[in-house]
A and B are shown apart, each in its own frame.
Chain A
Amino acid sequence: MSSQPASSTSTVVPPVAAVKPSGAFARLLADHWAMAGAGVAAAFVLLAVFAPLVCRITGSDPYTYDLGALTGSGLPRGAFGGVSATHWLGVEPQTGRDLFAIVAYGARISLLVGIGSTLLATLIGTALGVLAGYSGGLVDTLLSRFTDLTIAFPQLIFMIALGALVPASFPRQFFMIAAIGVFGWPSVARVVRGQTMALRNRSFVVAARVVGAGPRHILCTEILPNLASTITVIATMMVPGAIGTEAALSFLGIGVPPPTPSWGREISSAIAWVAVDPWYLAAPGLALFLVTLALNAFGDGLRDAFDPRLTGKGR
């Protein structure tokens, strides 16, 4: 567990920057799955950013009740959960709120938390990974044990529990970014540690050390730039998982409070209606599935193009 395959082969194969970026970009562009994933993900980002603008087309928003779109028993009027010219994805039962607007605004929370927590996890993971890989010895042993422990930890249980300590006035999205980020760093740390160990003994680093460069110079100008592509790939591959965790927290009622739209909470509300209005589940469920699948496809393509030696998700 402590020795990555990447580090053991490093003496033979230059581990980082062995792939020319121009060739890698060409490979990425030729990967249809990855490009389709990038397209879908970009569409969701645009939808999230321009949610108010897009919703103006249909004249809907995620907060206004539309009881006219419901039958007497609170179910959507019309086929497919009330799909119509004004309600593209149908309406929420009981309230008649527009599901397209809910999905569009819900994408804001999903992407904000997904990307924000990934950035935090990448920052922590890079710092600890470089520290472990560069220091070696006892520091490395302790940090690696800590990394293993964090990976195996019942993270979701801890995140729920930590929710009790955060005052109600603190924005929930920032709590989720912190919680997911603080538990998400091990996969970054493991890879960065392995790569740093491999780089530490490469001739250009040794040369820098010989001419008297300090650890700070070696880390910032010799090692970190060479890790950039690996870290980018790992970070991209982490985003869909972070989005899934956000949705899970919201599903369990620990996410942003209503009425702020959130996919996970919408899926949770759909449980009560799945027997009579299964279409209610389709809009938030498909949005979550699509964005996760798209980001997974893009992340896999990015890895194959830039860093084919990385395998798995390093969960």
Chain B
Amino acid sequence: MKITRFLLVKIAGMIAVLLLVSLAVYLIFYLTPADPARTECGRVCTPAELVQVRAFMGLNEPVWRQYLDFLGAIFAGRSYGSGAGAIACPAPCLGYSFQQHQTVLSLIGQTAPVTASIALGAAVLWLVTGVAAGVVSALRRGRALDRAVMATAIVGISVPAYLVGLLGILVFGFKLNILPVSGYVPLTQDPAQWAFHLMLPWCALAFISAAIYARLTRSQMIEALGEDYVRTARAKGLRESRVIGRHALRNVLIPVITLFGLDLGALLGGAVITEKVFSMYGLGALLIGAVATTDISTIAGVTLLAAVFVIVANFLVDLVYKLLDPRV
């Protein structure tokens, strides 16, 4: 009963935020000086042609109607123009790129796997190594590993991911020649090569965050080890591994998960930068290309997708949070 209520409230909140964000994205990108119709119409554009183009793109309707069309297209699809020259955009339609003559969704479909592969792998790597290093540091306070992790965290916070990536390319790619420095192999084509090519990008993106998470985990763990419930667990005669793994770590993970929820947007940004370092064509390259050609539909589609990803992922983070912390 309680969990249903929790879920309903969270889902309602998420839908409200998604609607607000979609409205914001629509208003920002479609109602600005950068008129999509003018861009599409070309350099030489008579007023009559502009009116035609506007009608074709559905930009001659009132703003609220345009926004509803935009939203409706996501669920029901839409078509631009009518008759033989009409362009169909089946649901879920995030818009149509008149510059690239493709639906925005298919453009995203071609590039998102690259960015998602980088981001997900790096996130797993940084959470696992960060928490593990933090726990080990806390248990072996003052030893060599603890000092190394803390020093990395202090210095690491000042190094941008792309510098780490470039140093990685230099050392592991060109000097040692053991890892590939560019190119993306689809997971469906060859999983081993996929992981092999992503090894350096994952490490570059995860390195700094892992150090920061290690520092957080360490301080939380040290605090938890002094708490009564840990002493009680030990007094009950539980094995040390169970005391740490079950009782202490569970509480340590709560702030870690909170921070991870806040870092999701940064994760996506980091993946976009990492893509460029390793010459992979992902969402970032798609977006930057679209910015260069003022391809408004693509820009709005990619930004909306990024926002939806962060909002939905934060919803999932809230669920994990609920599972870990019964007080919420």
Please report A residues at the B interface, Cβ cutoff 8 Å.
1, 149, 151-158, 160-165, 167, 240, 244, 247-248, 251-254, 267-268, 270-271, 274-275, 278, 281, 285, 288-289, 292-293, 296, 315
A271–B299 contact, CB under 8 A?
no
Residues of A within 8 A of B265 (CB): 151-157
Can you list 22 A-B contacts with CB-CB less than 8 angstroms, sorted by A residue number? A149-B17, A152-B314, A154-B265, A154-B303, A155-B265, A156-B269, A157-B269, A157-B302, A161-B291, A162-B28, A164-B34, A165-B29, A165-B34, A167-B33, A247-B160, A251-B276, A252-B276, A271-B279, A275-B173, A278-B170, A281-B170, A293-B155
A164–B264 contact, CB under 8 A?
no
Contact with B291, one of A152, A154, A254, A296 (Cβ below 8 angstroms): A254
Best-buried of A153, A154, A160, A162 by chain B (most CB within 10 Å)? A154
Instruction: Across the interface, name the chain B residue whose C-beta is closest to A167.
Output: B33
Contact with A157, one of B169, B268, B277, B294 (Cβ below 8 angstroms): B268
| Closest-CB distance, A191 to chain B (whole angstroms) | 15
Residues of B within 8 A of A288 (CB): 160, 163
Instruction: Across the interface, name the chain A residue whose C-beta is closest to B313.
Output: A152
Q: Is B273 an interface residue (CB 8 A)?
A: yes
B307–A160 contact, CB under 8 A?
no
Residue count of chain B within 8 Å CB distance of chain A: 50
**In whole angstroms, what is the CA distance A152 to B296 when docked?**
24
Pick the 5 closest A-B CB pairs, nearest first: A156-B269, A293-B158, A154-B306, A292-B158, A154-B265
**In whole angstroms, what is the CA distance A289 to B208 when docked?**
13
Residues of A within 8 A of B169 (CB): 271, 274
Please report the number of residue pairs spanning A and B whose Cβ atoms sit closer than 8 angstroms. 129
Judged by DSSP, the binding face of A is helix
Contact with A296, one of B157, B162, B287, B311 (Cβ below 8 angstroms): B157
**In whole angstroms, what is the CA distance A156 to B284 when docked?**
10
A267–B166 contact, CB under 8 A?
yes
Beyond contacts A157-B265, A161-B287: 19 other A-B pairs, Cβ-Cβ < 8 A, are: A154-B309, A155-B269, A157-B269, A157-B284, A157-B303, A160-B291, A161-B291, A161-B300, A162-B28, A163-B291, A167-B33, A251-B160, A252-B276, A253-B288, A254-B291, A274-B166, A278-B174, A285-B166, A289-B158
Q: For chain B, residues 134 to 161, give those with C-beta under 8 angstroms from any C-beta of chain A.
A: 155, 157-160
A154–B310 contact, CB under 8 A?
yes
B303–A164 contact, CB under 8 A?
no
Contact with B290, one of A149, A164, A253 (Cβ below 8 angstroms): A164
Residues of A within 8 A of B155 (CB): 293
Q: Is B32 an interface residue (CB 8 A)?
A: yes
Contact with A244, one of B32, B160, B303 (Cβ below 8 angstroms): B160
Q: Is B261 an interface residue (CB 8 A)?
A: yes
**In whole angstroms, what is the CA distance A296 to B277 when docked?**
25
**In whole angstroms, what is the CA distance A267 to B165 when docked?**
11
Q: For chain B, residues 270 to 287, give those with C-beta under 8 angstroms from any C-beta of chain A.
A: 272-273, 276-277, 279, 283-284, 287
**In whole angstroms, what is the CA distance A289 to B161 when docked?**
11
Residues of B within 8 A of A254 (CB): 288, 291
Residues of B within 8 A of A161 (CB): 29, 287, 291, 299-300, 302-303
Please report B residues at the A interface, Cβ cutoff 8 Å.
17, 28-29, 32-34, 155, 157-160, 162-163, 166, 169-170, 173-174, 258, 261-266, 268-269, 272-273, 276-277, 279, 283-284, 287-288, 290-291, 294, 296, 299-300, 302-303, 306-307, 309-311, 314
**In whole angstroms, what is the CA distance A247 to B306 when docked?**
21
| Closest-CB distance, A160 to chain B (whole angstroms) | 5
Known: A167-B33, A247-B160, A275-B174. A153 touches B166 (CB 8 A): no
| Closest-CB distance, B249 to chain A (whole angstroms) | 21
Known: A152-B264, A152-B314, A165-B34. A248 touches B162 (CB 8 A): yes
Known: A152-B264, A157-B269, A253-B288. A267 touches B309 (CB 8 A): no
Best-buried of A156, A251, A270 by chain B (most CB within 10 Å)? A156
**In whole angstroms, what is the CA distance A211 to B285 when docked?**
61
Residues of B within 8 A of A153 (CB): 265, 307, 310
| Closest-CB distance, A298 to chain B (whole angstroms) | 12
Residues of B within 8 A of A162 (CB): 28
Instruction: Across the interface, name the chain A residue whose C-beta is closest to B267.
Output: A154
A274–B174 contact, CB under 8 A?
yes
**In whole angstroms, what is the CA distance A292 to B302 when docked?**
31
**In whole angstroms, what is the CA distance A167 to B294 when docked?**
11
**In whole angstroms, what is the CA distance A165 to B25 when docked?**
12
